[in-house]
Structures are given as structure tokens and as C-alpha cells.
Structure 1
Amino acid sequence: WLSDIHLDPFYATPSAVHPDKCGSDRGADRVYSQVGCDPSYSLVEAAFQKVSSLISQGGTPVDFVIVTGDIARHGTDKLENSFVATQQILNNVSQLLHSSVQSARDGNSNEGGSHIPIVPSIGNNDVTPDYYIDLDHPLEMLQMVSDGFEAMMWPNRNFSDETADPQQEDVERSTFQTGGYLARNVTEKITLISLNTVIYSTNHAPANQNTIDDPLNQFAWLEEQLDLAYSANRKVFISGHIPPAMGSYRHSQLWNEQHVKRYYSILSKYFDQDLVQGQFFAHLHSDEFRVINIDLDDDDTASDKQWPLFLASSISPIYGANPSIRRVAYNRKNASLLDYD
């Protein structure tokens, strides 16, 4: 499980995120990036090499990889031709991660199947300007992100694979390019639902669109996917970038209130069936968790239903965190989470 990669291809140059401390004068002698900076290519490559080693070393096979958003550096809108620059960063990371994961799988006889699925989510820095998705005209922005994620999301378009499923890829591509979300059956038991959480953020722009009840029809789609998974006797993991919870820095709600309530209202329908076995988010560059207990019916009484959320730390050291990735263990029979490190 990787998150908040924030590759800065301009690290140790005058175009770095913070040129005063990450530019050519101070950043060049720190190949793996300085704390307070977004990562260099060398740091991202080292992180992906660690992923490769976890796959190739044997032991318990890696079933799939989750990337919970913010692949691009901070401040892409300050770069010349920021739209193209953002897409290029997404594309470079996507290709490198795909290559790292699949080459390790090919070298490990314990890894079954044709390839290891990689499922990313859109982060607020993966669009430009930051947090910007025009809900009336989202296609150009989402097409850009889709093209940038291509190599890791749909590698069968670029690499020979006899098990490729073009029809399923077309369905995923359609929902992602129109809404920024997708659902994929990553194992025989688990459906992974990747949400576009940027559109629920209190920082989403244009701000005058933040009162829309179901932006990009994602909630209706989510209900449909949960119904399908339940009918097929599957379990669900949900991933996204911005968590439906309070932030740990400003102690403010990260999603708009009506969207938080709608989200948990949808999940509550299947609470007793243990359909959703894990929720994976990020954004805060900090290894955290939340246990959500929310008043769903506005009677000033919290629900007796509780939802655990897991938040990953970052590869980027820009906010002082040591670069990190996560390995999550789960029960293959019932998809219940067991542990993580």
C-alpha cells in the first residue's frame, strides 16, 4: 500500500517545490531528498525497489497493490504548462511502479496469476490546479489523470498478457474517465472500490459546486457496486485519497458534511453483513487510524455502528514524515484484516 508519492522531477533545480531549501544550492547533495521537500526520482525508485523486494523475496504472495493518491508533486500549477507537466509525472511514476511490481512477480515462482493488479485513486495533487475538478466539465481533467495512470491501471493495453480482459478494462476506463472512480475484482473474494474523494473535499474547486448532493453520480454508483458485491457473495475494500473524517492538523472536517453522512449512510446498509472489510485512505502524510461513529439521522445521537479507517503515511518527506510504505495482511477466506507493517 503506497501513498502520497509526490514525485518532484525538478528536485535540486530552481523549479523544485521549495527552491530555497530543495533547489540546486541545498538539495543537490541529498540524493534521496531533504526533509521538507518532495522526493527526487532516486527516492521514489528506492521505495519501489522495496516493493519489488517484498514481492520477490517469497513467503506470502502479494495479491494486489493500492496507491491512495497524490502521485504528483505539490505546486504543479506553478510549473510552465502545468497540465502537461502533471500528466508526465503521473505517467513516469505509473510506468516505474508497473515495471517494478511486474518484474518482481515474474522472478518469483510463488506469485500466481498473470500480473499483480495495481489500483490507484485520484489525489488532490493529481489534478491541476490543486483540488480542481469542474463537475460540469470533468472529462478533460479526468482524461489527463487516466492517461497518466494508464501503465499501472491497464497494463494489458501496453504489454502482452494472454489473460487480458478488454471488456472489463473498457468498463473501468469509462467510469474513471467520467467520474474518477472504478471497481475491480482484485482476488476471487475481494472487490476493490477506488473512490474519487477530491470532489467531496471542503477544499474542492470550483467551490460553488460543493453543495451538489451526488457529484459525478459516485454515490449512486457506489451503492450499485456494493449491491453487486453482496449479491455475488464477495467482500469489499474501499480506497481513496482524502478520508471521510477529521484532519489531524487543523482538526477540521475533510469532507463536506452532507457527503460524509451520505457515504456512511450507504455503508450502514450492509454493516451487519460485514460487506466492507477495509477502508484505506491517506492525504495527511501520517500513519493514523480513525474509528467513525456518526449521527446519521440528525437526532443528536451517534449511531451504534462504527467504521474503522486506516490512513497511510507518505513516501514524500515534505511534512517531516520518514518515507514509508505499508504491507497489509488479510484472511484470504473472509477478507478480514489481520495486521499491517
Structure 2
Amino acid sequence: MKFLLLILLFCFLVPTFCLTGKFWQFTDQHYDWIYKYKSEPHSGECRKGEGDAGFYGDYNCDIPWLTVASAIEEMSIIEPNVDFVINSGDTWPHATGSAEEKLQTIANVTNLIRKYFPNTPVFYSPGNHDFEPKHDCAPGANTWLAQMAQAISPILNTEQKKTYLQGGYYSQVIGGIRVVIMNTVLYYRSNKYTSSASGDLSNQYAWITSQIDEAYENDEKVLFVGHVPPGHAERFGFNNFHDQYTDPFMKVFEEHPHKEIILASLYGHLHSDSFRLTENAGPLLLSPSLTPWKNYHSSLGVPNNLGMGRLFSYDKQDQTLLKYEQYYADLQTCNENLKLKWQLEYDSSQEPFYMEDLSLISYEKLYIKMKNDEKMFSDYLNFNILKYKADSCDSDCRTRQFCAIKFLHTDDYDICKIIQDY
């Protein structure tokens, strides 16, 4: 009783503390359970031979268990009292392994999150590497979805498991926010099962629409979570979805009569820190990866440092997303010192962005600032790869960046790249 009175007194004296909710997002761990310290990096793997693979990871490889475990533990130290935790996919590494090992890896990371956040709802949005074979997610109920549902069963209730088995999606309402987990691997450009298909795969469009409808009726706000974002990769320029899905997918949100209740959509996959603008359906926020792996398939591939996680703050009264704090570790320094040091990279409400909140309007203002302020754009590029040693950004690079942010629809993006009018 005394403790409750103390909490009430504290909330009276410091009201913003008790009216602010928080949640974590982290993504793209790509945990390699065979990672070998001082092995030879080869084709994205640090598993054999003699070389200079670092203790906590390598820019040409994925990461060992101790790095994954350290990141989750540090999240629980920085802020243990969160309302929920989001893992937006790609737990499995870019390297090879068996289906059984893949399922066990997903289960191990899920259970580790639950260990450090024992009384907190945990959400998992499947990544393209989490499917077997990788990238290939068949529409509708299938054996692999059932196996993944079993691997993450401790975080799914009966109703959530029912929709997860139908298509890899589910939802839960927490504090006035309807967290909607989507399966965007269905539309992924490397998914062979859906390359020549069309229509509403796994009835996900209809289900998303029903989630917005229900949220509106219940006076809730909606937070969407997926792995592969729609639109184009700002570094590479390719479409993340098969071409036939981008516009229909975006229309589900942008043409909904109650799209104003969408707070934002959170994604991973591109291993970059970026955002996308929509037509009044909330911003798309791309969180950087935990793995530092460089996409060695392209000259445009850029390594990044370790993206520990992103801590969001929101107003518990109207569910407005207020800000996020992005945490990271400088991999090279950590390997040299044999000490993993996580630190705040930046706070969206502080220098250099000074964002009032995480609304679409605030991101539209940031976009305009970046176009007109080279220092601001340079800061954005620096954060885009978690302060790795960035190359210069020429005119083509700049065009890819700004067109990807502003134009999600394929035709609009293509026109933007041609005439460079962003």
C-alpha cells in the first residue's frame, strides 16, 4: 500500500514519467551459431580457416551468440520497464544450416528475449531468412508456418496462433495501441512461390483492413510491424517487393477511410536506418540491423556497425509516438578492445534532427530539411550505416536516397529517378 502511494505521489510530482510508455524494437540479428573467432571471412561466413574475424563479429560476416545475448541484456539494463518488445525478423544468418537448426535458432532468441523481459509481451515478425528455403514463403497455411508457430509458441496466445497459421500475421492491443504483425515476406522480390502470383495472398490485405476497422471502432491507434518494407532500397535502387504487389499493398493503408489512426509502420531487412513517406498513412520507419554484415553481392553494399536496438517513447493518453533512441556499438573498436560497448547513437528529438514527434508531418519536415541542408543530409547518411566509414554520396546516390524516401509507388519512383525531381 505504501509503495502504491509512493508511485502515485511520484506521478503527481513528475506526471510525464507516468504518462509516457516505451517499447523496444530490434531486428536482423542474423545469429550464426557456428561463428568462429579468428577464422577467415568467406562469402559472408566466419566459420573456418585462420584469419582476422573479430571477437564480436566481422563486417563481412554475421555475429556470434555472445553479441546477440549482450544486445538483449543491454536493452533490459537501459530500459527494462517497457510495454512490449518487437523482433522484426531475420534471426537466422546468411550462412547455411538445416531446417531444424533454423527453428531452434528462432526459438533460442525468442526465449532469450523472454528471459530478460519475463513479464513483457514479445512480438515476432518473420524475416525472409527465417523461412525454409530462405526467402520462400508460400501463401496460405503451410507446414513451415506451423513449425515457426511452434518455435515461437511461448509468445503466441490461442487466437494469435490461429491467424499466424493462416499467413504469418497476428495482432494484440496494448495500452490503446493495436500492434499488428504482418508477413511481408509474401511479397518479397526473391520469394519464388509468389513471383507470378497476384491478388490478396493469404487474405492479408483483408485482414489488415479489418484490423484498422476494429481499431477505429475501439478508439485505438495502430502500429504496423513487418520485415521487408515496400518501396525501393535507398542504397541499391531495386524494388523490395515483386512489382505487382507494391501498389496494391500500399493502397490497403493509403485508401483506408480511417488511415489517420495509423501511428507508423516499423520494418527492418535493409540493414539501414531510414524512413519512408506515405499518403497520410503514417511514416514507415526502417530500423538498422544488429548484424554488421556487408552485402558482398553488390558494389553498393556497405557494412554497418552493430545496431543494438531502438527504444521508442509514446504518449499513453493519445498514443502519439514521441521519439526513439537509437543504440549501437562500434564493431572495430569493440573487437580491438575485446570489450563490447553499447552506446546511444542519437535521439530523434535531439541534435541533429530535433523532431517534435514521430508523426508523418514531422518526417515530411525532416525530408525538406535534408533536401535543403547538406549537413543534415550528411548526418542522415552517417546514421544510415550506424557511423561506419561512409563513402561520398554522388548525384546518383542522392537521387536514390531521396526518391526512395518520398516515392513508395513504383511508377512515381521510376519517374523520380529519371527526372531527378524529388
Give the TM bin, normalised by the shorter chain. Answer: 0.7 to 0.9
- Verify: 1:206 aligned to 2:193, yes or no: yes
- Verify: 1:139 aligned to 2:138, yes or no: no
1:90 touches 1:148 (CA, 8 Å); kept in 2?
A: yes
Q: For residues 51 and 73 of structure 2, what CA distance do their matches in structure 1 show?
A: 22
Distance 1:87 1:268, change over 3 A: same
Alignment of 1:171-320 (within 5 A): 171-185=159-173, 187-208=174-195, 210-270=196-256, 274-293=260-279, 305=280, 307-319=282-294, 320=303
CA RMSD of aligned residues (A): 2.4
Q: For residues 40 and 184 of structure 2, what CA distance do their matches in structure 1 show?
A: 27
1:97-132 C-alpha deviation (Å, 9 max, x unpaired): 110222xxxxxxxxxxxx211111010000121111
Q: For residues 159 and 204 of structure 2, what CA distance do their matches in structure 1 show?
A: 15
1:271-318 C-alpha deviation (Å, 9 max, x unpaired): 66621101100101111111135xxxxxxxxxxx46421000011111
Matched residue pairs, number?
292
Aligned residue number for residue 329 of structure 1: 313
1:243 touches 1:282 (CA, 8 Å); kept in 2?
A: yes
Q: For residues 207 and 191 of structure 1, what CA distance do their matches in structure 2 show?
A: 28
Aligned residue number for residue 50 of structure 1: 74
Match of 2:115 among 99, 102, 105: 99
1:230 touches 1:275 (CA, 8 Å); kept in 2?
A: yes
Q: For residues 340 and 200 of structure 1, what CA distance do their matches in structure 2 show?
A: 28
Distance 1:170 1:269, change over 3 A: same
Distance 1:232 1:48, change over 3 A: same
Q: Give 1:248 deviation, angstroms.
A: 2.0
- The AA in structure 2 aligned to 1:85 is E
Q: Give 1:54 deviation, angstroms.
A: 2.2
Q: For residues 38 and 101 of structure 2, what CA distance do their matches in structure 1 show?
A: 16
1:197-234 C-alpha deviation (Å, 9 max, x unpaired): 000112112245x4321111111111111111111111
Match of 2:158 among 146, 149, 170: 170
Distance 1:199 1:335, change over 3 A: same
Match of 1:70 among 90, 113, 138: 90
Greater relative contact order (Cα 8 A, min sep 6): structure 1 or 2?
Answer: 1
Aligned residue number for residue 161 of structure 1: none
2:185 touches 2:227 (CA, 8 Å); kept in 1?
A: yes
1:12 touches 1:27 (CA, 8 Å); kept in 2?
A: no
2:263 touches 2:282 (CA, 8 Å); kept in 1?
A: no
2:231 touches 2:241 (CA, 8 Å); kept in 1?
A: yes
Aligned residue number for residue 106 of structure 1: none
Q: For residues 213 and 281 of structure 1, what CA distance do their matches in structure 2 show?
A: 23
Q: For residues 166 and 70 of structure 2, what CA distance do their matches in structure 1 show?
A: 34
Q: Counterpart of 1:211 in 2: which secondary structure?
A: coil
Q: For residues 33 and 90 of structure 2, what CA distance do their matches in structure 1 show?
A: 14
Q: For residues 306 and 182 of structure 1, what CA distance do their matches in structure 2 show?
A: 20
- The AA in structure 1 aligned to 2:304 is A
Structure 1, unaligned runs of 5 or more: 103-114, 155-168, 294-304
Structure 2, unaligned runs of 5 or more: 1-24, 295-302, 326-422
Q: For residues 50 and 210 of structure 2, what CA distance do their matches in structure 1 show?
A: 51
Match of 1:90 among 106, 118, 124: 106
1:17 touches 1:75 (CA, 8 Å); kept in 2?
A: no
1:8 touches 1:17 (CA, 8 Å); kept in 2?
A: no
Aligned residue number for residue 150 of structure 1: 153
**Structure 2 length as normaliser, TM-score?**
0.65
Q: Give 1:269 deviation, angstroms.
A: 4.1
2:126 touches 2:227 (CA, 8 Å); kept in 1?
A: yes
Q: Give 1:142 deviation, angstroms.
A: 0.4
Q: For residues 255 and 231 of structure 2, what CA distance do their matches in structure 1 show?
A: 19
- The AA in structure 2 aligned to 1:195 is M
Aligned residue number for residue 56 of structure 2: 32
1:17 touches 1:74 (CA, 8 Å); kept in 2?
A: no
Q: Counterpart of 1:65 in 2: which secondary structure?
A: strand
Higher alpha-carbon deviation: 192-201 or 247-256: 247-256
Q: Counterpart of 2:108 in 1: which secondary structure?
A: helix
Q: Give 1:19 deviation, angstroms.
A: 7.0
Distance 1:250 1:288, change over 3 A: same
2:46 touches 2:53 (CA, 8 Å); kept in 1?
A: no
Match of 1:124 among 120, 124, 128: 128
